[in-house]
A and B are shown apart, each in its own frame.
Chain A
Amino acid sequence: MKLLTALASATLLTFSALPVLAQTPSTLRIGLQEDPDMLDPHKARTFVGRIVFKGLCDKLLDITPDLKLVPRLATEWSFSSDGLTLTMKLRTDAKFHDGDVFNAEAAKANIERARTMPDSLRKSELASVDSVETPDASTIVLKLKRPDATLLAQLTDRAGMMLAPKSLAGDVAAKPVCSGPYKFVERVQNDRIVLERFKEHWEAQNYHFDRILYRSIPDTTVRLANLRAGELDMLERLAPTDVKSAQSDKALKVAGIPNLGYQGITINTANGDAAKQPMGMDKRVRQALSLSIDRKVLSQVVFEGLYEPMIQPFNPGNPYVSADFPVPARDVAKAKALLKEAGVAKVSVELFVTNNPVDAQLGQVIQAMAAEAGIEIQIRSTEFASQLRDQQQGKFQMSRVGWSGRIDPDGNLHQFVTSKGNQNDGKYSNAEVDKLLDEARTVYDVAERKKRYDAAQKFLQDELPIVYLYNQTVFFALRSNISGFVISPDGMIRLSGLKRS
């Protein structure tokens, strides 16, 4: 009997101690939607990877929530009058996690690696760089092949991240050595990435947690349950369907902001035989499709009305959004008239969607709306890797795709709609658009650039190689006791200033 009592009380003790144990002081626990890929900024490709790099690696520049450039490792920067030389002044008090000092030589080694390593994914981002010079230890000069208005934006992300020069020869992804506010401790694939505060960081006083624990929890319901149970301090990409219930929970708070990307339907206009049908060949049919969709209702039905309707490739509030193209109201009569004008009373077309519940629902809503205008849509759903492959090979008529977005407008347009663009899967081609978008890349003045984007949009809104639908709002959920989180349209989690009260 005594033994039983002892056992019972031991069990009780264990259980009562649990909630306390779950929280190690001064560790910020962040729930990610996916497991990041390689932790090497020059080889990495995932969105969640970028979130982890924000803690691990400093870059030359950063952006504010309203997309203004601010100094990080570079303190000042300027272009020469011909636009072919970018000179940057660098910090002198920054150190790498291995103790080495950050200087111009180190920056040069990184930029050279990013733009020349055979399997670097940063090559296209730094394609305009011709050579790198280091006149002194705190100055770096990039000589350009052509003026490049997108370059500074590239340097705010992975292309501008700095690895310790000594680590470059080894397996970087296995143990990344950067100069960010936190250093790498361990990684368990599909589970966790642990970082530890780097006390010698030049801005160490702004980072209040000793450790950062990133956990990958793909299921949104489970991720939220973990936050509610106190196993996480914050999570990224809260599902729109969970926003209301998270908001009503006093232990949590929710933050949201329109993200930089776009969501739409890419139409095959000239890629192989699949394009040879009314939707691919006649812009009036595409216009009819666009007019048949009620973007507000679509957002209501699928996203609780939390995503904003959008017909341009930029986020609402972006300086490059054109006032000439407001979201049109649904107009079935006009859509029917357009079809009639095109000489087709009924259109039958296939829509490719990724096989997840949200995309399937989205496809069905579009299907129902388009049917009323006389466009019959068959939905084909496959998983993402197959969709990508088929899309690139032209085995599609329409494909429901999204883009996570780039800071610079070029990143949301050029590669998708210029004739030789890597991601122009519908093979849309318009010499005028090519010329305007090529030019826009080389113009540094924002107002001048915008003129070119507006002019290009005039063609794109008329010919509709991509029918834009809505802009995603990126939601974060945090425990109420976490303060100092600054939300940004790039969906990143910047650790500076984050605190637990």
Chain B
Amino acid sequence: MLALIGRRALIALPTLFLVSLFVFALQRALPGDPFLVIAGEERDPEVIARLREIYRMDDPVVVQFFAWLGQVVQGDFGRSLRTGEPVLALILQKLPVTLQLAIASIIVAIGIGIPAGIIAARRKDTVVDYSASALALSGLSIPNFWLGIMLILVVSVELKWLPASGYEPFFSNPKGAIERLIMPAFVLGSGLAAFLMRHTRSAMLEVLRSDYVRTARAKGLDEDAVVNRHALRNALVPIITLSTILFGELLGGAVLTEQVFTIPGFGKLIVDAVFNRDYGVVQGVVLCTAIGFILMNLLADVLYILVNPRLRAQ
């Protein structure tokens, strides 16, 4: 296990380097000048020149990249061009927000998607299966933005059951946090649940067709035991992969959902940063998201080993 983690960490290093190089180059290739935006409506040329100097924008791009990388290695991500705040502080401020939303959403997604997939597989080609599939399809096709606004209008404006927006940290205000998480987590989670449901269903169907399941049934085990003890475990492997990938994506921030529910997470941060050409912030956030993704992949590998004993021997 440790060897696996170590090997993964080594592979991660060049990946991260490539990601930062790629993002750095892409950003510089974008049209637009951050200092024209930052210099304000007046765009005083003297101010622009001074800002370019402070942020070393007149150095060659390669020099800029390695200067930035050198700082990052020492834990310094630079400062936001827009607000002057340290990028690392911004990331640390937004990370718990995004993490909280991602965890809540994945709980909703798994909580709905996997049971629905199992039930649909067990009742294949029945009304239950069809209605679950229809629901899943609608979950996939309803845009988050629309669903979010509709939920706010009905649940918050009309019924006044839940606060319309905002963020509260779970550990200092669990009640406020949950109230504010229900709607966004449902919006994000329902789409993912549909995805998970479809995959769980097909994975289960595949396993349920296999020989050992037939054997289990033949020896007189009741259906619940067959499904829960024998089939589900094997069907879980692809579902774990999918869940961790989905979770990794959530860590990148959910732009539209964050906008609708005004949740100050990565999504809002990065979109603002891209529009303002706030280079340092974009680079920092992308790097962090990449690290998150790599960790999720590692987690998937570890989970495989836990559910599938055969992998432990290898």
Contacts and interface: CB of A to CB of B under 8 A. Distances in A.
Interface in B136-151: 149
Contacts of B31: 382, 385-386, 389-390
Contacts of B34: 385
A138 B216 CA distance: 94
Given A45-B38, A222-B165, A189 B83 contact: yes
Given A43-B84, A225-B156, A388-B37, 5 more contacts: A14-B175, A45-B42, A174-B84, A222-B262, A231-B164
Interface stretch (B111-119, B229-237, B272-280): B272-280
A205 B177 CA distance: 36
Nearest to B162: A18
Interface residues of A, number: 55
12 contacts: A18-B162, A38-B82, A45-B39, A123-B47, A124-B44, A191-B167, A192-B264, A225-B157, A229-B156, A230-B160, A404-B41, A422-B45
B264 A191 contact: yes
A15 B31 CA distance: 49
Contacts of A14: 175, 179
A118 interface: yes
Contacts of B149: 221-222, 225
Contacts of B82: 37-38
Interface residues of B, number: 54
B39 A389 contact: no
A119 B268 contact: no
A172 to B, nearest CB: 9
A467 to B, nearest CB: 20
A18 B83 contact: no
Contacts, number: 145
A226 B164 contact: yes
Contacts of A191: 166-167, 262, 264
Interface string A33-48: 0010110100111100
Contact of B179 (A18, A217, A423): A18
Contacts of A173: 83-85
A306 B166 CA distance: 31
Interface in B156-181: 156-157, 160-167, 175-176, 179
A222 B43 CA distance: 31
Contact of B39 (A121, A215, A225): A121
Contacts of A384: 37, 275
A219 B261 CA distance: 10
Given A231-B164, A385-B36, A225 B152 contact: yes
Contact of A121 (B44, B80, B83, B268): B44
B286 interface: no
B287 interface: no
